[in-house]
Amino acid sequence: MQTIKTSVSVGDDRRLLMQLPENIPAGDYEVVLFLNQRTVKGDNGASKRTTALSKARAALRKSVSPEHSIADELIEERRKASERE
C-alpha cells in the first residue's frame, strides 16, 4: 500500500483528474479518497469557524442589503440597552 498526498481542485462538474507519480505501475488498484477542505492557514477549529461564519454571512446578506451594517445596528441596540440600565 502506498499513500499519495496531493492538492486538487474540484470544479462545478465534480470531476477529479489526477496525474499519479511515475513510480506507480499500471494496473488495478483500490483507491480510498479522503476529502479535507483546505482553508487559509490556521488550525482546523479556526477553519471550521471561518466556513460557518462565511455561510452565516451569506445567509444574512440574502435578507439584509450590503449597505446596512449589522454591526452598527447591534452596537446601537447595546447603547440603548445600557442607557436603560
Predicted confidence (pLDDT) per residue in 10-67, tens digit: 788 888 888 888 888 899 988 888 887 776 555 556 666 677 777 887 777 777 777 7
Length of the chain: 85
The DSSP result for 38-75, as a single string, is --SSS-HHHHHHHHHHHHHHHHHHHHS-TTS-HHHHHH
pLDDT at 71 over 60: yes
What confidence category does residue 85 fall into, taking pLDDT thresholds of 50, 70 and 90? confident
Residues 8, 28: Cα–Cα separation, whole Å: 22
